[in-house]
Structures are given as C-alpha cells and as structure tokens.
C-alpha cells in the first residue's frame, strides 16, 4: 500500500507534463501564439525609485529642429508604449576564482573542582577509574579524589582547494517592444523570439530598462546600456528532452539529501 501511495504521489507531481508529452509523441512542437506581453502570466509592472519631479518652462522655437532629435524631420527612436527597438546583445566574459583555504585551531580546557559540597567524593563511585596522566588529586574523607572533573582538548584542521572557471559568450540581435514608461522617462522593454528547427523550438527572451538617450539613431541599443537586464535562452522539443534527466531521476534528486 505504501508503494502504491508513493507511486501515486510521483505521478501526481508530473502528471500534467507527462500527459502532455505523451499526447504529442511523434508530433512537431507548436510555436506559441503572439500575445500581449502585459497579459502573460507572472507579468508585473516595474516600480523604480524616481527623482523629484521638476517643472521646466517650455520654450517655443520657430526652428524645424527639435531638441533631442536625431532625424531632421522626425525622431525615429522608440519613445512610446508599443514602439519597437532593436536590442544588440554581445557578452564575452570570463569568471575565474581560485581558493585554497587552510584553517588550524587548537583549544584545550580543564575544569578543577576543589569543593562541591562533598559531592566530589560520591562522584568517584560513578567514575571510579582514575584516568592516567590526570593531576589535581586530593584526599577527601580519607578517600583519594581526582579534582579534575573535565579535561577537554581539540585540534581541528581544515584544508582544501577549489577552482571556479566559467566563460560565457552570447551574441544575437532581437526586436523588443516598449511595455511601460516610468515617471522619469525610462522605458521597460521586453522581446521574445521563437525558432523551430526540425523538432526543436529555441526560445530567446530579453527584458530590461533603458534610457531614451542611450538609443542610437538607428533605433538600436546595446546590452551594456540596459538596466536590470534579463536574458533567457532555452528550448523545448526532442533535443531538450534527451538532454534532461528522466522525470523520475529529477524527483529523486530533489528528495534525496545526499
């Protein structure tokens, strides 16, 4: 009965995904439908610290040139909710950490009881054997008593070596949409792309906060000028299933403490 309950729990944990995978055996994975990013489950508007608002007088000028414009007649850069901007991501970084910790600690303690209301003599009945090398012996009521009740010493040592070496290289371009404009003028952008190759779908997602001043005249912004940048690159399909652990092994990896 216990085995049946255990199997029922395991099947319940992955029942939905398992049923979905079995229902799509032999079929090509479907691309997700295009939808409003603000209606996607888990979306939350961004709230950031804003500077104090200041009122500035608007000066009218008869000139065709407007301040902040990059084009002669019209600024082509994204600036309103729904505008599209090209995001250029180029990441080539290396992280390397080497640690060789070595810790050595010695400690010792000795408790001597000279008089404990006469109980030190009765304590010998529970510990009648005198430990070799002990000191502080005395005579109480005509009986030898070891005054050293507790003698502790420790010598822990720890030594080890660890090395962490990671190299990340990512390079791609993706179009993103302006979802929100913050009170100080910064814009929240989000872009998503799906590519189906045979029976595998590759997904790319980019999110972040940008300044309009950092957008180039070609309506493009680089990844190093995006605040709170979030990049997600993954896939779903036969290749991803082959690279992942079986769901039973994944459950055991979460449950087993060793």
pLDDT band at 132 (very low <50, low <70, confident <90, very high): very low
Please give the pLDDT value at position 191: 93
Please give the pLDDT value at position 133: 44
0.75 surpassed by pTM: no
Residue 77 lies in a domain: yes
Give the domain extent around 119: 102-159
Please give the pLDDT value at position 168: 82
Q: What is the mean pLDDT of residues 207-212?
A: 93
One domain for residues 233 and 204:
yes
Which has more pLDDT, 76 or 71?
76
Question: How many domains does the structure of the chain reveal?
Answer: 2
Q: What is the mean pLDDT of residues 161-171?
A: 83
Q: What is the mean pLDDT of residues 125-152?
A: 55
pLDDT band at 59 (very low <50, low <70, confident <90, very high): low
One domain for residues 149 and 216:
no
Q: What is the mean pLDDT of residues 41-45?
A: 83
One domain for residues 178 and 218:
yes
**Separation between Cα atoms, residue 152 and residue 148, nearest integer Å:** 11
Residue 175 clears pLDDT 70, i.e. is over it = yes
Where does a domain end: 110, 141, 159? 159
One domain for residues 185 and 82:
yes
Average pLDDT, the chain: 75
CB 181 within 8 A of CB 81: yes
One domain for residues 241 and 117:
no
**Separation between Cα atoms, residue 114 and residue 137, nearest integer Å:** 10
Burial class of residue 9 in the structure, from the number of CB atoms within 10 Å of its CB (0-12 exposed, 13-18 middle, 19+ buried): exposed
**Separation between Cα atoms, residue 111 and residue 148, nearest integer Å:** 6
CB 174 within 8 A of CB 89: yes
Phi and psi of 178, rounded to 5°? -75, 120
pLDDT band at 169 (very low <50, low <70, confident <90, very high): confident
- Residue whose tokens read 């055996």: 25
> Where is average pLDDT lowest: 14-23, 100-109, 163-172, 188-197?
14-23
Q: What is the mean pLDDT of residues 18-32?
A: 67
């Amino acid at each position: 009965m216990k085995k049946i309950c255990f199997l029922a729990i395991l099947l319940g944990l992955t029942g939905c995904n398992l049923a979905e995978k079995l229902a799509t055996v032999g079929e090509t994975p479907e691309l997700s439908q295009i939808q409003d990013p603000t209606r996607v489950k888990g979306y939350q508007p961004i709230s950031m610290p804003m500077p104090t608002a200041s009122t500035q007088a608007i000066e009218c000028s008869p000139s065709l040139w407007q301040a902040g414009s990059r084009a002669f007649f019209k600024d082509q850069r994204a600036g309103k909710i729904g505008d599209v901007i090209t995001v250029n991501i180029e990441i080539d970084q290396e992280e390397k950490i080497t640690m060789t910790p070595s810790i050595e600690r010695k400690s010792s303690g000795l408790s001597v009881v000279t008089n404990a209301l006469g109980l030190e003599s009765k304590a010998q009945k529970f510990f009648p054997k005198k430990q070799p090398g002990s000191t502080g012996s005395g005579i109480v009521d005509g009986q030898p008593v070891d005054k050293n009740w507790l003698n502790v010493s420790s010598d822990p040592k720890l030594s080890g070596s660890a090395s962490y070496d990671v190299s990340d290289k990512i390079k791609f371009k993706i179009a993103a949409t302006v979802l929100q404009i913050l009170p100080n003028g910064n814009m929240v952008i989000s872009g998503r792309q799906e590519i189906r190759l045979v029976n595998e779908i590759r997904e790319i997602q980019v999110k972040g906060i940008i300044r309009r001043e950092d957008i180039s005249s070609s309506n493009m912004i680089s990844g190093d000028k995006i605040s709170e940048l979030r990049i997600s690159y993954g896939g779903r399909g036969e290749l991803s299933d082959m690279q992942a652990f079986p769901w039973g092994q994944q459950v055991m990896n979460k449950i087993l403490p060793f």
